[in-house]
Structure 1
């Protein structure tokens, strides 16, 4: 269920977790057109800095969108902007938890600023950022 800005308070949080599979990476490559060998070619990826294939950074970042559009604020939310820092690679089999926290309310413009970040199963932050959204009225 969606929340209006009047129902949302500073410090409100929500999260979503997903284990990243080989299928997810190949499906994302097909949808996005990003066939970087670091993601889809094991032989080439072994030559790279991570020595194995890694998931697309934007695949994990997409989990943030899932939280915003499904939970906080929820359906009808307009995603207006996102800052991201990719801090660690996401490997096949990692369980990524996307978390959002309301850090600013701009009621007169119906805007929220949220800290957005993703952690792996070890609690390491793999993505850190900040989003601007317009919750439904």
Structure 2
């Protein structure tokens, strides 16, 4: 059984730190001596910022005195940290969202390490491959449907992300699947048409602005559909038997929703119980609960329709 890798598994534990009052020249000497690219800035023991070689170079480029300018003046404001127990997928998402190169790592409020984008590269090569596939697909078609890598699925989309963590040979307790998708205005309007739920809370900006939510939100059932999408990508033909869910908060139209499903019990007879949840773009739980599924064998002769994006593009030429 594979255990999901966390930031703690790949972070650098020996973190060089400095203080806001340290001069730029002194900080530059520390970076040079240690041959590292950044220092975490601490004040009263708490991490409050991060300063990089680039930050220090700007001081010289602006003809400022490195013996007078302090680290506190040039360090990156609004420090963003990440927990040691965060998954590598979550770290990759945060790196992309905030467009930074490294995060200080904290555990119970204590600075325990630092993690850089490069530290993740060896662990998540599929992310780099996925980014290339996304870029190639969108160049060929602004609304592409791609052949799926999973034989269970009719098609995929390059903007959807699926990650499975488990044995790779059937299901077992502890296996985890994650599916991430942006719930767009088009999704909401298509669901309203298909379901008949045309509540103005989902479709009318002016109306929704006057409600407790202050904006349009995604249908609750559409949000739970991201759970269905995750479970459908389990190995085999997944059939829902039951679902018990609690709605914890809304997902805004246009936000990314992430379903996380963990197998908690093997009920025998190819039946499994899973804890399921959907998280909004800020990592807050929108849905929590559990599902029971039956996993049948795929029909004889079923094969994946997956083809490389490059080949698909070549066939269209």
Report the TM-score, using the length of structure 1 for normalisation: 0.89
Q: Equivalents in 1 of 2:280, 2:251: separation in Å?
A: 8
Offset from partner CA, 1:65-94 (integer Å, 9 cap, x none): 111112x2x441111111111111100221
Q: How many residues align?
A: 131
Instruction: State the Cα distance separating 1:110 from its structure 2 match.
Output: 2.4
C-alpha deviation, 1:11, in angstroms: 0.6
Matched, 1:116 2:279: no
The CA deviation string for residues 87-121 of structure 1, in whole angstroms up to 9 with x for no partner, is 111002211111110001011x3210001101112
Match of 1:79 among 229, 240, 243: 240
Q: Equivalent residues in 2 for 1:100-111 (5 A)?
A: 100-107=261-268, 109-111=269-271
Kindly indicate whether residue 211 of structure 2 is the aligned counterpart of residue 48 of structure 1: yes
- Pair 1:15-2:175 in alignment: no
Q: 2:194 maps to which residue?
A: 31
Bigger Rg, structure 1 or 2? 2
Provide the rounded CA distance (Å) in 2 between the counterparts of 1:121 and 1:103: 25
Counterparts of 1:75 and 1:93 in 2: how far apart (Å)? 31
State which of 56, 59, 63 in structure 1 corresponds to 2:222.
Answer: 59
Q: TM-score scaled to structure 2, two decimals?
A: 0.40
Q: Could you tell me how far apart the structure 2 residues matched to 1:121 and 1:49 are?
A: 19
**1:109-134 superposed Cα distances (whole Å, 9 cap, x missing partner):** 32100011011121111110100000
Q: Secondary structure at the match of 2:241?
A: strand
Structure 2: unaligned runs, 5 residues or longer: 1-149, 153-168, 298-317
* Cα deviation digits, residues 11-61 of structure 1 (max 9, x gap): 100111011111111011011110001101112112211011111011110
Output the aligned Cα RMSD: 1.5
2-structure distance, mates of 1:118, 1:19: 12
Unaligned runs of 5+ in 1: none
Write the distance in 2 (CA, Å) between the matches of 1:122 and 1:89.
12
